């Protein structure tokens, strides 16, 4: 879990500039909920790697509207490595997860502005 948490926080720091928002425990709660629903990720370094690449790609799409070239290349490389079933399920679950992150971020920003 430490590997996932570290990589997750590192990935989030690419998109969330406010240290106050980034330190909110809700983001860790969202991760714990995701991992508990997708426990298979914990047992494979390849799945952890794929999860982080898909998360990076999906957050690029949500925060920047278009994925950057590094995340596109990462997803393209996974296309040939992973099995189709694992890849498609993990990608769809990661897409839902990234939307929760974006919604939470927007909610926290609005909350911070209204203070």
**12-66 pLDDT, tens digit each:** 999 999 899 999 999 999 999 999 998 888 788 888 888 898 999 999 999 998 8
Give the pLDDT confidence score for residue 44 in this predicted structure: 83
34's tokens: 């995701």
Give the pLDDT confidence score for residue 1 in this predicted structure: 73
How large is the average pLDDT for residues 85-110?
Answer: 87
56's tokens: 């990076």
Give the pLDDT confidence score for residue 39 in this predicted structure: 86
Q: 86 pLDDT exceeds 70?
A: no
In 3D, which of 110, 106, 100, 115 has the Cα closest to residue 8?
100
Give the pLDDT confidence score for residue 77 in this predicted structure: 75
Instruction: Confirm whether pTM is higher than 0.75.
Output: yes
| Cβ neighbours, 10 Å, residue 105 | 22
Instruction: Kindly indicate the confidence band of residue 83, based on its pLDDT and cuts at 50, 70 and 90.
Output: low
């Amino acid at each position: 879990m430490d590997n996932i948490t570290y990589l997750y926080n590192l990935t989030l720091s690419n998109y969330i500039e406010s240290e106050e928002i980034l330190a909110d425990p809700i983001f860790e709660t969202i991760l714990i909920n995701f991992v508990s629903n997708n426990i298979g990720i914990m047992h494979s370094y390849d799945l952890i790697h794929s999860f982080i690449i898909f998360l990076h790609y999906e957050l690029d799409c949500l925060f920047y509207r278009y994925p950057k070239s590094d995340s596109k290349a990462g997803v393209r490389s996974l296309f040939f490595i992973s099995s189709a079933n694992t890849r498609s399920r993990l990608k769809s679950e990661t897409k839902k997860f990234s939307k929760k992150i974006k919604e939470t971020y927007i909610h926290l920003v609005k909350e911070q502005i209204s203070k």
